[in-house]
Structure 1
């Protein structure tokens, strides 16, 4: 299972992460560098498990369960805001 942004969402990388703009509502969200890394990994086609693994590679002291939880949290937040969805 992978994650994709909806077609009406634009992204812009910033020095501190990524900004997402919902073009239908005009609302935007600021993702910190960790959330942006997770999002970019997912939209490049990585599974949630692979995204958690890559997050742990980036932060070796991060416990496996926390990495998986962080990936799940980003997916939940973006899905709840109607910015993205998991795809099979």
Structure 2
């Protein structure tokens, strides 16, 4: 499923990943390069399987770990209200 940030979330790419600003709470979240890759893949219309494949292709990580990592990140973004 593609990912979409809530209207109150601003993003900025940095040399170290992506920074998210939750304007409602005034909180910053920082995604490392692997988290940034997952978010970019999902926001471009990919699903979680595409994000897992992107992680496996870019980083030295096995498929099972990549799957757990993608699921955990997406769940955390949704629970926090950053993503829909």
Unaligned runs of 5+ residues in structure 1 are none
CA–CA distance in structure 2, aligned partners of residues 53 and 20 of structure 1? 23
Structure 2 residue aligned with 1:81: 80
Question: How much has 1:73 moved relative to structure 2?
Answer: 1.1
1:7 & 1:45 partners in 2: Cα distance?
18
Which whole-Å CA distance do the structure 2 matches of 1:63 and 1:33 have between them? 17
Aligned residue number for residue 23 of structure 1: 23
The alpha-carbon deviation at position 15 of structure 1 amounts to 1.1
| Deviations 1:20-74, CA, capped at 9 Å, x for gaps | 0011221111111111111111111100011101111112x41111111111111
Higher fraction of strand: 1
Any gaps of 5 or more consecutive residues in structure 2?
A: none
For the pair 1:12 / 2:12, whether they are aligned, the reply is: yes
The match for 1:50 is 50
The runs of 4+ residues in structure 1 deviating greater than 6 Å are: none
Give the TM-score normalised by the residue count of structure 2. Answer: 0.92
Does structure 1 retain, via aligned residues, the 8 Å contact 2:2–2:43?
yes
SS at match of 2:4: strand
Query: In structure 2, what is the equivalent of residue 72 of structure 1?
Result: 71
Number of equivalent positions: 84
